[in-house]
A = this chain, B = another copy of it.
Amino acid sequence: VAGDTRPYHHGDLRAALIEAGLQLARQKGVSALGMRELTRAVGVTPNAAYRHFANLRAFVLTVALEAQHRLAHTILDRMQVIPIDANPAVRAVERLRAFGLGYIHFALADPGWFELACVSQEEPPDTGPHGGAKTTVPPPHQLLLGALDEMDQAGALPPHRRANAEWACWATVHGFANLATSGPLRGMDRDALNRLAEQAMDTLINGLTA
């Protein structure tokens, strides 16, 4: 009755697979995610996974969504640290800066998770037949829009620059993250990367506000 060996039922295989997927992607990258490798890591037969996910693609999208949530969480933590300054314009600008540096630092700290989070934007979440525009806009995108709105309301952003400003912002931080994790900046030491990231954000903010 007592099971000193592994029980026949795992308990929560679905959660265990997602956790294994996160660890695997963290260490080996998104391309290392495979049904056999994952089930091996969890100690279960390959086809057991098909009780919980339709196929590999559906699994990867699920884990990617989790990675995206973690990215959003990291960014939000950093944005919330900005104190409620006397000058709301300064605060709004600092929150945009926190968004950008948070985004970049997440990518530098865990390139595999960053790559994974990007997957969830390559492929729409496949909202299924109950189709709803519930969470079509990914959280990081909303955080960015929020920061820009705040700048707008505080008068830190010239009105003619507000529309579509998010794409210039996203391009800068996303591009920097790519250059640093898998481009020509790969391998540069962290302090230098942090300085370059701050400089890039300075240039961006200057371009938006000047």
The chain A residues found within 8 Å of chain B, CB to CB, are 118, 121-122, 138, 141, 161, 164-165, 167-168, 170-179, 182-186, 196, 199-200, 202-208, 210
Contacts and interface: CB of A to CB of B under 8 A. Distances in A.
Given A203-B161, A207-B203, A175 B186 contact: no
Contact of A118 (B170, B183, B185, B206): B183
A171 B183 CA distance: 10
Contacts of A161: 203
Contacts of A141: 184
B167 A176 contact: yes
B204 A203 contact: yes
Contact of A176 (B171, B183, B207): B171
Contacts of A173: 171, 175
Contacts of A178: 174-175, 178
Given A174-B178, A176-B175, A183-B174, A203 B168 contact: yes
A187 to B, nearest CB: 10
A36 to B, nearest CB: 19
22 contacts: A118-B182, A121-B184, A122-B186, A138-B184, A141-B184, A161-B203, A165-B203, A167-B185, A168-B200, A170-B175, A170-B184, A171-B171, A171-B173, A171-B175, A171-B176, A172-B172, A172-B175, A172-B204, A173-B175, A175-B178, A206-B206, A206-B207
A199 B118 contact: no
A111 to B, nearest CB: 12
Contacts of A200: 167-168, 171
Contacts of A210: 206-207, 210
Contacts of A207: 202-208, 210
Nearest to A138: B184
B204 A164 contact: no
